[in-house]
Structure 1
Amino acid sequence: MLSRTASELYWMARYLERAESIARVLDVTYKLSLMPIRSQQNEDLTLPLNLTGTHQLFEEHYPRLNMANLLNFFALDPRNPSSIYSCFEVAWNNAHAVRGSLSSEVWESINATWIEMKLMRSKGVAKVGTDAFFDWVKERAHLFRGAMFGTLLRNDALCFIRLGTLIERAYATAQLLGVKDQQLDADSDPVREYYRLDTLLRAVSAREAYHSLYKHPVSRETVAELLVLRNDMPRSLRACVGDVVQQLERIGGQRANVPRRLAHTLNVELRFSTLDEVLELGLQAYMMQFQAKINALAESINHTYLEAL
């Protein structure tokens, strides 16, 4: 496969996954904003800004930090490269460039998403409904993945799409865990802690899974175990990295030793780590280390497969 084609497929998948991740984070932020007014409210509202590093850009275009402005900035504003609108636009451009490598169902799912996104931008999130908008973004991501698994050949194209999805998902989960743990440290109220943990589980579609696996109240320790070390949780760090290893092994190639070594090393670390070891280091420190390692892996994949020789 040409490196340019592989790059388009990889980044198409990353931006589609990023759009869904932003929608999940906005959903969490929106629900936290509905809690009674308190001193920690502004810190909750800055969650998406902290994750994307867009504080300065937001302040340049919006006079006040409130939920309405955040929704517009992260949902529909083309000036924000991290907005859902911008992510879908980049994903569509990448998909359009490699239509020949996609099935008609996959292309139609992405094309229809972009057309509907432009219509929603003309209406605004308020007219669509906040919860309805978040659900729509997640449904479009699910539709893309369903079409991908159901119609694409099991070849390198599918592997690069899966790689983009998994790398982005692992990074997003690590970011969210680190920032949420920092917020929990800053607020010792047990009621708000429970609510924050519950919304975190909802953000990664893990609430039902948590209560199926753990028969006691939600705690920071068990949430960390679920989202870091459990291989049966689809959005956990271990599950994502384990699947990355499988995709890299399928692609192979003479120059693939470096990304495969990095992926296998990270997978072994997650597989044999214990919750006590994670907590001893500190969840925030552990997440920062993981983000550095997953970025190094992504850079190695880019250098090995996606850059023209």
Structure 2
Amino acid sequence: MLSRTADSLYWLARYMERAESLARILRVTDRLSLMPSGTDADGSEWHSAVVVSGCEEEFYAKHEEATPENVISYLAFDPENPSSIRSCIETARRNARGVRTSLTTEQWESLNATWLELPGWNEARVRGGSLHRFLDWVKDRSLLFYGGTVATMLRRDRYHFTRLGTFIERSDNTARILDVKYHLLLPEHAEIGGGVDYYQWASILRAVSGYRSYNAVYREGLKPWLIAEFLIMREEMPRSLISCSAEIKDCLDRLGEEYGQRNEAHRVAGQIYSRLRFGRVDDVFRQGLHEFLSEHIEQNDRLGAEISRVYLM
């Protein structure tokens, strides 16, 4: 397969996953902003949404303050932000159009319908009370595309490159949500495991659709170290770091079999998976949760760079 085709499939999947992740972040941030804050700074929830999206510098170059209106505008609709929800969907559709023959009918139709419906959503409509409807729409359209990929694509290299894009992006976003929400919403006077507001911890789980799943696994209520373990080292949780790493490793292994060679990307993927598979949450907190997650994000970025160098150039 041409590297150009692989690159388009990979980034198509990444942008659809990024649009969904931004929708989840905004939904939880809006819910948090309506509840008593555990920090002294008003609006810290909206600042955290900017940080977790990875565009803090660009946002504050354009806006002086992280108000709800500014954050929603920038992360959802701003055409100058290449990672806004609107930009992600438009870029995904542009990539899809370039590799139309590599997609199934279901994939193309779901993505094209999303692009056609997108202009019907704008800032004025969202400010009129439709924010949650818009965010649910984004999440549903992303999941529809994801379902079409899993249910209809042949298990060949095209499928594996698409899945690689999905899980590289998902791993990055889960780490960012856990890291930034954990540190910005933890009161400065509270120790880890102390009296942290119940709804703030619940928001972390809801951001990754893990609230009910967490309660099904643990019977001890919401505990910071258990939430960290759940989102880092529980492979049955589909958005956990280890689950994403396992999927990435599997896709690369299958590409290695199909192309008859292994490379540096396989080694880095195996290293990341082994660290999560054989690590313990006690070791994570001993190192420092922020330090652990920052290191994971760096390794994930390095893995993405290796995948691009080996397969997509």
TM-score (norm 1): 0.94
Give 1:296's aligned residue: 302
Q: Distance in 1 between matches of 2:118 and 2:160?
A: 27
| Percent pairwise identity | 39
Residue aligned with 2:154, SS: coil
Give 2:23's aligned residue: 23
Where structure 1 has 5 or more consecutive residues not aligned to the other structure, the ranges are none
- Residues 93 and 112 of structure 2 are in contact (CA less than 8 Å); yes or no, is this contact kept in structure 1? yes
Give 1:45's aligned residue: 46
* Cα shift readout 1:195-254 (whole Å, capped 9, x = no counterpart): 111011000000010000011110110000000000100000000001111100111135
Whichever residue aligns with residue 82 of structure 1, its letter is S
Superposition deviation, residue 29 in structure 1 = 1.1
- Residues 231 and 240 of structure 2 are in contact (CA less than 8 Å); yes or no, is this contact kept in structure 1? yes
Moved more, 125-134 or 22-31: 125-134
Q: Distance in 1 between matches of 2:64 and 2:298?
A: 34
* Cα shift readout 1:142-170 (whole Å, capped 9, x = no counterpart): 10011111111111111000000000000
Give 2:248's aligned residue: 244
Give 1:12's aligned residue: 12
Give 2:144's aligned residue: 143
Alignment of 1:218-233 (within 5 A): 218-233=222-237
Give 2:184's aligned residue: 183
- Residues 15 and 87 of structure 1 are in contact (CA less than 8 Å); yes or no, is this contact kept in structure 2? yes
- Residues 120 and 128 of structure 1 are in contact (CA less than 8 Å); yes or no, is this contact kept in structure 2? no
Give 1:195's aligned residue: 199
Alignment of 1:76-225 (within 5 A): 76-121=77-122, 124-127=125-128, 129-188=130-189, 193-225=197-229
> Aligned residues, how many?
307
* Cα shift readout 1:109-128 (whole Å, capped 9, x = no counterpart): 11111111122137532346
Superposition deviation, residue 82 in structure 1 = 1.7
TM-score (norm 2): 0.93
- Closer, same or farther in 2 for the Cα pair 1:215/1:12, shift >3 Å? same
Q: Distance in 1 between matches of 2:261 and 2:25?
A: 37
Where structure 2 has 5 or more consecutive residues not aligned to the other structure, the ranges are none
Give 2:292's aligned residue: 286
CA RMSD of aligned residues (A): 1.8
- Closer, same or farther in 2 for the Cα pair 1:150/1:123, shift >3 Å? farther
- Residues 230 and 236 of structure 1 are in contact (CA less than 8 Å); yes or no, is this contact kept in structure 2? yes
Superposition deviation, residue 2 in structure 1 = 0.6
- Closer, same or farther in 2 for the Cα pair 1:118/1:191, shift >3 Å? farther
Q: Distance in 1 between matches of 2:113 and 2:128?
A: 20
Q: Distance in 1 between matches of 2:19 and 2:107?
A: 17
